Amino acid sequence: MTYPDPTLFGHDPWWLILAKAVGVFGFLVLTVLAAILIERKILGRMQMRFGPNRVGPRGLLQSLADGVKLALKEGLIPAGVDKPIYLAAPVISVIPAFMAFAVIPLGGEITVFGHRTALQLTDLPVAVLYILAVTSIGVYGIVLAGWASGSVYPLLGGLRSSAQVVSYEIAMALSFAAVFIYSGTMSTSGIVAAQENTWFVVLLLPSFLVYLTAMVGETNRAPFDLPEAEGELVGGFHTEYSSLKFAMFMLAEYVNMTTVSALATTLFLGGWHAPWPISIIDAANTGWWPLLWFTAKVWMFLFVFMWLRATLPRLRYDQFMALGWKILIPASLGWIMIVAVTHTLSNEGYQAWITTLIGVAAVLGAAAAVLAWRRLHARRLRRSAEPPTPAADTGAYPVPPLPERTREQAHA
């Protein structure tokens, strides 16, 4: 198994850099085309109906037909929009979605026409922070689209999106902190190398669950698709968009889904490492095989996105924000403290079973405290909701309590 040498990045010939950039772009576009078709097929099967089955053999050309249809539709621009910002918003939304994939490792080292290179466009010492920064820029496209449309519902969708991203990016970043502690680096290729023996999904399961929830909220997907809730906001931030401008927002959504899925694969599922027991084979993690394992893991997360959309109803906005601020963020902070303590004890020479026992005891203690608080809170609510004790039965006709009357009202 050969890991990319950090000194390789930035020293490839120009044609190889260009080929890798085009390859990443093609990988994302093909994944989007396939994901749209497969999602419609899966939703159809889960809802006991057929998905697309008319365009091409078994409907395989449906995504291509939809793209052509959107390209040929008339692009309408409403009269009351801020035209420069209105036109720039889809571009601002889609470009960061592609840029974030530049530091995702798709495999180990390979040889292309005699040149040794990594199946990764580039890497940075703070690559994960770069992904956070770039994906944060993408939300400006949604906010500006809602603001520039000159309509109330898109504006509400843009405001919802900004609050949503701020809330769930905090939880997402906190879930990364535990990974940084265990791997000792923020480089994506370094994080993959640190999972050669044990994937972080095993060691850092709470961080993985927090990230899994936050990535759905970050990409505005059901049940967290509140910025475009058609039942409340007609269509949300893209209500006034049509033709290719709407297609760019749709492209950005699916590319962001692919990016967060690839990041989850990199941080928690060993990246391009083959799953056990295939990893026992020496050749499983060499050559072009890692690209196959990486793609399979990414598609596993994409299936989870589609499954959630088919099964869960949309949350109320207050429930959604409470989930982020009252559950995910406090849980992440507590888990980081546990990880930091156990990892420090392990570095100090304590045995693995001792640190594991301390970590499990801390998690169980926190869970018990939360359950006890919820039970006390529920008991208080039940007491406050209990009806008042009825008065003693005097045989008279029951009369509801009357408001006090002043002497002047009584004589009137």
Task: Tell me the pLDDT of the chain (412 aa) as tens digits.
Answer: 556 656 667 778 889 989 999 999 999 999 999 999 999 999 999 988 888 888 889 888 988 898 898 888 888 888 888 889 989 999 998 999 899 999 999 988 888 888 888 889 889 889 999 999 998 888 888 888 888 888 888 888 888 888 888 888 889 999 999 999 989 899 999 999 999 888 999 889 889 999 999 999 888 887 888 777 776 777 778 888 888 888 898 899 899 999 999 999 999 999 999 998 888 888 888 888 999 999 999 999 999 999 998 888 888 888 888 898 888 998 888 888 888 888 887 777 776 656 666 767 777 777 777 777 778 877 777 777 766 665 555 555 666 666 665 555 555 5
Dist. CA 364–CA 262, nearest whole Å: 31
- Pair 249, 241: CB distance under 8 Å: yes
**N-terminal to C-terminal alpha carbon distance within the chain:** 98
Q: Which helix (H) or strand (E) holds 123?
A: none
Dist. CA 160–CA 199, nearest whole Å: 35
**Backbone φ, ψ for residue 118 (5° rounding):** -100, 150
DSSP 313: P
Burial 238-268 (b: 16+ CB within 10 A, else e): bbbbbbebbbbbbbbbbbbbbbbbbbbbbbb
- Which parts of 100-194 fold into alpha helices (H)? 127-148, 152-183, 188-194
Q: Tell whether omega for the bond before 223 is within 30 degrees of 0, i.e. cis.
A: yes
Dist. CA 168–CA 265, nearest whole Å: 19
Enter the tokens of residue 158: 């843009």
The percent helix, strand, coil of the chain (3-state, each to 5) is 70, 0, 30
For residue 205, the tally of other CB atoms under 10 A from its CB is 13
Dist. CA 381–CA 386, nearest whole Å: 9
SS3 string, 208-277, reads HHHHHHHHHHHCCCCCCCHHHCHHHHCCHHHCCCCHHHHHHHHHHHHHHHHHHHHHHHHHHCCCCCCCCC
Q: What is the pLDDT of residue 301?
A: 95
Dist. CA 144–CA 190, nearest whole Å: 36
Enter the tokens of residue 348: 């100090």
List all residues 6 or more positions away from 327 whose beta carbon is below 8 Å from its beta carbon.
Answer: none
Dist. CA 177–CA 8, nearest whole Å: 27
DSSP structure string for 157-175: HHHHHHHHHHHHHHHHHHH
Q: What is the pLDDT of residue 400?
A: 67
Per-residue pLDDT tens over the stretch 340-387: 888 887 777 776 656 666 767 777 777 777 777 778 877 777 777 766
Enter the tokens of residue 137: 């820029």
Q: In 3D, which of 172, 179, 259, 169 has the Cα closest to residue 210? A: 172
Q: What is the pLDDT of residue 158?
A: 83
This prediction has a pTM of 0.84
Q: In 3D, which of 251, 243, 249, 245 has the Cα closest to residue 73? A: 243
C-alpha to C-alpha distances, 332 to 59, 206, 210, 233, nearest whole angstrom? 43, 8, 7, 32
Per-residue pLDDT tens over the stretch 297-351: 999 999 999 999 888 888 888 888 889 888 899 888 888 888 888 888 777 777 6
Q: In 3D, which of 274, 300, 259 has the Cα closest to residue 103? A: 259
Provide the residue count of the chain.
412
